[in-house]
Structure formats: C-alpha cells, structure tokens
Amino acid sequence: MNLDELEQLVALLQNSNVRELTLKQGDKRLTLRRETSRNDLQTEEPEMLHPVELNGFQVDFADEQAEAQAVVSAPYVGVFHHIRPMTGMGASVAAGQIMCAIQSMDILNEVAAPAAGTVVDIHVQDNQPVEYGQLLYTIQTKED
C-alpha cells in the first residue's frame, strides 16, 4: 500500500457518508474513521455499502449501521450447499448455529454463524464453488 493508494482511500471516505473504512490484506488491517458531528449523522440517510476490491485490497465499509453487521465468509474451498431448512433472507440465526455446508473432497463441512442476528444478504447460490474467504452471508447483529 503506497501513499497514492492511501490518498485515494481518504478521498473516497471524505466524499462519502461513510464513517469508517477497513482495509485487510492478509492479516494486516488498516481502519480509517471520519470525524462526524451529531448533526451530520442526523441528516444522513442510513446507507449500506458493499465491500469492494480496490487495487486488490478488500475494503469493507462500516457506518453507524454497518458496525452492527457481521459477515460470514468461506473457511474452506469447495461447493456451497444450503442446508435443510435453508437459511434464507431474513432468517434469524443464533451464534454457533449451522448456516450452510461447504463440500470439500466429498466431505460436507458445516459453517456456523459467528454471532446472533438476522440474515440481510446471501452472496452465493446453492452449488456454487467458493474459494477461501469468499463472502457468504451478511448478518444484522443489532435490532434497529
């Protein structure tokens, strides 16, 4: 990560209504937070930003709302399978609850929810091949 890239990120943050931005590469992590006044926040519409790739870095955005989200990503390489009953949009999950399975070398590896909450996004489809770290679900961990 060089200065130019950092500047791009700062610009991105300043021109957005996002309060916080996290970069991950390997096990390194960089978080940028924007100073906001209460006033600012009240005039803002809550908005969800999807994680994006920027120069190969995975960038997760987090605002006041998004701080209350957890993501479930693939801990194995393999084929994603829904379980029965399927964990669908809007489903409530408990921490540790099995959400899906990833089939790897004929073995079905179960994937558990990292936190309790409501499924607000499913990023993959049944029988889809997934790589390590691929985003599977977004969970809303706080009640609005």
Partner 1 sequence: MFDKILIANRGEIAVRIIRACRELKIKTVAVHSTADTNSLPVRMADESICIGPPPPKDSYLNMPNIISAARITGADAIHPGIGFLSERANFAEACEMCGLKFIGPTAAVMERMNNKASARETMSKAGVPVVPGSDGAIASDEEALRFARKTGYPLLIKAAHGGGGRGIRLVQNEEDLVRQLDMARTEAAAAFGSAEVYLEKFVEEPRHVEVQVLGDEYGHIVHLGERECSVQNLRHQKLLEESPAIQLTIQQRSRLGEAAVRAAKAIGYINAGTIEFLVDARGDFYFMEMNKRLQVEHCVTEQVTGIDLVKQQIRVAAGEKLSLSQKEIKFTGHALECRINAEDPDRNFAPAAGCITRVSLPGGYGVRVDTHITNDYEVPPYYDSLLAKVIVWDKDRAAAIVRMQRCLQEMEIEGVKTNIQFQRRILNNAFYRRGEITTDFVQRRILSETREETL
- CB-wise, 46 or 132, nearer to partner 1? 132
- CB-wise, 46 or 129, nearer to partner 1? 129
Which long-range contacts does 86-89 make (Cβ < 8 Å, 24+ apart)?
Answer: 87/119, 87/122, 87/137, 88/119, 88/122, 89/119, 89/120, 89/121, 89/122
Give least dist CB 32 to partner 1, A.
Answer: 20
Give least dist CB 56 to partner 1, A.
Answer: 4
Query: Which residues lie near partner 1 (CB under 8 A)?
Result: 2, 25-27, 56, 76-79, 104-105, 107, 129, 131-134
Residue 125 vs residues 45, 129, 137, 140: alpha-carbon distances, Å: 30, 9, 11, 20
Give least dist CB 24 to partner 1, A.
Answer: 8
